[in-house]
Structure 1
Amino acid sequence: MRIFRGALAAVAVLGSVVAPEAGAEPQFPDLDGFTAVDAEGYRTYSAYMTTGWQFATPGGVLCRIQKNSRAGFASLACWGAFPGVAGGESSIELDKASAPSAPVFAKSDRQGYGYKNLGLPGKDDLIPLAKKDYPVLAPGQKIVAAGAGAATTCAVGDGGLTVCQMEKAASDNEDGWRHGFVLSPEGSWTF
């Protein structure tokens, strides 16, 4: 009986050493394991110093990356039926102005509309989505939008996984930061 208790105690101690810590931060997927697509195939609009790339996931989530080369602005927004969220949230946004805060999931009515046509007198109406403007990013692929502002990378994995991150390197004038999100049926989260 002593041997059994000793073995049980050893297993309990060993189990506490090798078991993952409860509530540990999930790991962001390694983006190096995804194949980069030619971003030009996803560039769907360009306006004065602003370029945009748009894509859809096989599960129907729509995403837009924007860069403004003059202002150094970068933004990322995704919306749709998100897997792994409990409260019905359907949108998430991240931009250089909001960093270094992690993005927050929100409820949105963007499902039928892409964006507001702001800046022109009398033209602040919602513009309907055109699904053809959102080429599908297939599982195993990633899109990288570098250049002005923060570098933005989004990737699609198997089983409904979508991951995006925006990263700004440190400079003499500004601290660096990295934020993003994971959409997954096993649980969606931000960082």
Structure 2
Amino acid sequence: MLMSPFEAEDPIYVLENSVPIDTMYYLENQLAKPLSRIFEPILGDKAESLLTKGDHTRVTTKSVSKVGGLTAFTKKSFTCLGCKAVLKGKEATCQHCFPKASEIYQREIYGLTALETKYGRLWTECQRCSGSLLEEVLCTARDCPIFYMREKVRFDVKEQTELIERFGKAAW
């Protein structure tokens, strides 16, 4: 279910729950209309079709409904981190990819390290902004893009950590 343009969600909630944003609404109402008003004196009637119609625009549709239709009857399955084959349990790899499990594990650890490094850099940026490198960041600037990038990366670190935990205490 797309988020209605008249409904406002907390951006952190949107990040954590992967709520899709109605991009067409923002393109048509927040971007196209003001630009049409700007270009109308120059382009005349063609200004309206500048962003909404023509060969230079592309429209894609994507079903993003989490609940409804047949998805209400589906069950989440884990996939092999090597070949993406559907697995019966929560293990990280299938039998075919098990010999390469240490390589796959290292790749996932490398991904986690990159995310943690990015989070650390964003955290340091927030500390500099707040004026203290020694205290926790108590950020109240909800319009700051660094704040939301940091929250998105924090969520990604959590997901990557859960993914790595699927390896469990496998004997390598």
The TM-score bracket by the shorter chain reads under 0.3
Q: Which has the higher helix share?
A: 2
With the length of structure 1 as denominator, give the TM-score of the two structures. 0.19
Pick the structure with greater CA Rg.
2
Q: Which has the higher strand share?
A: 1
